[in-house]
Amino acid sequence: MKFWDSSCLVPCLVEEAASREALRLLKEDPDVIVWWASPMECLAALWRKSRSKEITRSSFQFANEQLEKLAGHAHIINPADIVFDRAKRLLAVHPLGAHDALQLAAALVWTRERPSGAYFLCLDAQLRVAAEREGFSLQP
């Protein structure tokens, strides 16, 4: 099981530079763990790509169906006081926005604050640095 940031999930849904690697990682270990808001973040990215004509209407529909399947099988870290408390600490020690702090906090809650050996899948450079400093192994 690996924690997936939405930045790494979107390439599993639509063709991007990181799609081949992201799909390989998903096939290798389909037990996906995500923050509660990640499916909505992925949907927002799909709509953004649709509006900017990066993807066709049929590509959007297919990607949205894939997202629903993925979200239906994912292990979700729900909003809870412990996640918000961890996010507050992360905001104080890393240059993260609220969204990224919540993502990383959810991953820390998943590992019970023991991220050593746990994988955090993310393509955002700043969030990757923070996750590594917290003790996660990074992919891709």
79-118: pLDDT as tens digits: 999 999 999 999 999 999 999 999 999 999 999 999 999 9
CA separation for the pair 25, 18 (Å, rounded): 11
20-62: pLDDT as tens digits: 999 999 999 999 999 999 999 999 999 999 999 999 999 999 9
- Check: CB of residue 114 under 8 Å from CB of residue 120: no
28 occurs within a structural domain: yes
71 occurs within a structural domain: yes
97 occurs within a structural domain: no
What are the backbone angles phi and psi of residue 110, rounded to the nearest 5°?
-55, -40
Q: Alpha helices of 6-56 — where are they, by DSSP H?
A: 6-13, 19-28, 38-51
Beta strands of 29-123 (E only): which ranges?
32-35, 75-77, 119-121
- Identify the domain containing residue 48 by its residue range: 2-76
Count of domains observed in the chain = 1
CA separation for the pair 136, 72 (Å, rounded): 25
105 occurs within a structural domain: no
6 occurs within a structural domain: yes
114 occurs within a structural domain: no
Domain CATH for 70: 3.40.50.1010
Residues in Cβ contact with 41 at an 8 Å cutoff, skipping those fewer than 6 apart: 6, 99
- Length of the chain equals 140
134 occurs within a structural domain: no
43 occurs within a structural domain: yes
Please classify residue 91 by burial: count the beta carbons closer than 10 Å to its beta carbon, then call 0-12 exposed, 13-18 middle and 19+ buried. Answer: middle
Confidence of residue 18 (pLDDT cuts 50, 70, 90): very high
